Amino acid sequence: MTDRLSTLLHEGADTIDVPPMPGDLIAAGRREERRRRTRTALVGAVAAILVVTGATVAVDRWRDSDDSIQPADELAYQQLGAWISDEVVHIGDRTVEVPGAQSLVYTSAGAIVANLPDSIEDPTRLTLVAPDGETRDLGHFDAIAAEAGSPELVYAEEVEDQGYVQLQVLDLATDETRPLGDPFQSEETPLLGRSDRYVIVTQDQLEVAVDMDTGEVSRMPRRELGFSVPWGYGPAGYITAPDPESEPVEITQWHVRSMPDGDLVGSYPDAGGQYATVSPDGRYLLTSSDTTALVYDVASGERLPLELTLTEFQPTGWTPDGHVLTTGEDGTVVSCGPATGECTDTGVPAGDDLRLERGSFNSWS
């Protein structure tokens, strides 16, 4: 471990306390895709290792990475996204059976799906499902971070017989692997987040940002409540909330702050459920209660036309290009445009256990 990294990870006097998080993808695979009702800390509703962020998927990038993927498949993935229903992955307008499929994140090469093993002693495996329906076994990683507009997957890898882990970057389009930094090393497996070119590393309640281009490591600013949640990072920055004025804590406003300086991007009223999520392209913020979901433009702070009436435990998620996915009155998956407020029924049954891509998110409930 470099002297600079060691110093950053151990200067923790002014950090906030965060409850310990499970460090295995099994926890992520078993996470609930529903809004929590019990009050915990200002962390996500899941112990997520699969962390997604990113920008809009570009058709040219698809063409450069894989000539076998057709433009129709590319656009379908971008506009319809992917979801899991009863161990079937729906990606764009294609369906793929993935036994044990429990959760997913977006990349520009397709959706990475976490598959629960038959036995808890076995590791959770990852499968890449491409927009054309082709699958690829990625094996097992203890922690990953990805973004919707990039083919690069960041993961933590234990170095055999060395007693530490280091971060690697796998390009899903070329199969090339490179170390992150020189390389970035840690004694234990950290939690990972991603915000554009920055990888956020969380360990022992401390956080640093690693520049993917330069390998430079910098300590994250400590501002406001609920900062330390790896799944709260995205292309727009990170989601947090103003410090409470009294106890018990009640979130009435959400903040998005930029990376890596922590400057305020915007402030958005909470809808009543103390939950906020930002789309994978970084353009929209959705906040919800038990009965309503409202959407805001991240850059301007303007409330947008889309307003959803929710039933108990009705899930919401995102497509790579920022459409909201949820279920309709007929029990099918619908896709809704934040800017227009219009929803389109896909006609695909949601099933009994719908799993959606949640984007970057933060929650108190």
58: CATH: 2.130.10
pLDDT band for 109, please (50, 70, 90 cuts).
Answer: very high
The domain in which residue 82 lies consists of 3-363
Mean pLDDT, rounded, for 139-144: 90
Q: pLDDT at position 204, please?
A: 76
> What single letter denotes the amino acid at residue 299?
A
Residue 302 neighbours by CB distance under 10 Å: 11
Asked if the model's pLDDT at residue 52 lies above 80, the reply is no
Q: Two tokens at 65?
A: 């990475």
Sheet with 303-309, strands from edge to edge, namely: 303-309, 292-297, 284-288, 275-278, 360-363
pLDDT classification of 129: cutoffs 50, 70, 90: very high
Residues 165, 142 contacting (CB under 8 angstroms): yes
Measure Cα distances from 61 to 79, 149, 207, 236, 363 in Å.
16, 9, 31, 21, 33
Burial class, 348, CB count within 10 angstroms (exposed 0-12 / middle 13-18 / buried 19+): middle
Domains contained in the chain, number: 1
Distance (Å, whole) CA 58 – CA 281: 11
Assign 182 a pLDDT band (cuts: 50, 70, 90): confident
What pLDDT is recorded for position 185?
80
pLDDT of residue 57 exceeding 60: no
> Is the pTM of the predicted complex or chain greater than 0.85?
no
Contact 288, 281 (CB under 8 A): no
pLDDT at position 2 is: 43
Whose structure tokens read 């445009």? 337
